[in-house]
Amino acid sequence: MKLDQLSRALGYFSIGLGVAEILAPRKLGKCIGVNKEYPALMRLLGLREIGSGIGILSEPRSAGWVGSRVAGDAVDLALMAAGFLSGGTRRGRLAGATAMVLGVTAMDILCSQQLAYSKSPAARDGDGEVDFKRKRVVESILIGRSPEEVYQFWRDFKKLPRFMVHLESVQETPDPRRSHWVATGPAGKRIEWDAELVEDRKNELISWRTVGNAPIEHCGTVQFLRAPGGRGTVVRVVMEYQPPGGALGIAFARLFGREPGQQVEDDLRHLKQLMETGSIPTTKGQPAGRSLSTSPKFDRELPEPRNAYVTANG
């Protein structure tokens, strides 16, 4: 399905829902399980839905108009949560309506993200096609260390949990080109997979891919580019993955802060802090901030920094 087709479908849905909220607010309220009558509020919500729908249909490739639906979905979910807390509601119907709104919210988020992505430099094709199978992540950051230093640190895969929040461990295997990875996924679920080095150019590039029955198939490349003027290294990560649950899996994962694009961005920021200062600032569990890595295991091993490079390399 093309992006403009998906956004138009959301636009027509928004207008249809808005008309129902304006013309039959009481009946609609009973259908979703709210016994109390809020006709004035329901009509206001209907006007909002119609406005969003008209905006989407007038500009079907605008991420802003589709994003306005996401904001409206958040209001709807807040009102439903209030319905659960108050008396006089039919909880079965309200639970069903909440599940439906969550589904539409996921689709709204997906469409908004894909519209924004289709206009970004990272977009690979310009036909507006939504890829429901694979997702691409492109992130980069400038680190005030030489490519040789950053490459050497990254290439020692056992050190990656120091700055990769959700990564628990990386273990070597008898095959020097393969390694075993353990990470924490959504809801604390443990995820394990094997990865294979596809290309390894010293101080320049590392490419990998998952092998075997990985729970999330992915591949990628990290480049270590010398920054102009001796300012350090541009670390550029390009990764492709196939999320569980397809497009809806991407959207729901982002709702809970677990989408890999977010993780890569955060991990690169942690790497920069670790390489430049020797530690990663955090206030977790502390009345005042303290400087640690992202992993308690490595916190115990991390010496007092004499300089950033010595600490980062243990």
176 or 215, which is more confident: 176
Residues 222-279: pLDDT tens digits? 999 999 988 999 999 998 887 666 555 555 555 555 567 778 888 999 999 999 988 7
What phi and psi, each to the nearest 5 degrees, are found at residue 171? -120, 140
**With 70 as the cut, is the pLDDT of residue 179 above it?**
yes
pLDDT at 162 over 60: yes
Query: Could you tell me which residues come within 8 angstroms of residue 26 by beta carbon, excluding any fewer than 6 positions away?
Result: 37, 39, 42
Query: What is the four-CA torsion angle of 273, 279, 284, 287, rounded to 10 degrees?
Result: -120
Q: If residue 252 lies in a helix (H) or strand (E), which one and from where to where?
A: helix 246-255
Largest CA distance in the chain: 70
Q: Which of 310, 305, 306 is nearest to 281 (CA)?
A: 305
Instruction: Name the token pair of 274.
Output: 């670790």
Which band of pLDDT confidence, cut at 50, 70 and 90, is reported for residue 290? very low
Compute the average pLDDT of residues 305-312: 40
**Are 193 and 178 a contacting pair, CB within 8 Å?**
no
Tokens found for residue 132: 């429901």
Q: What is the pLDDT of residue 197?
A: 94
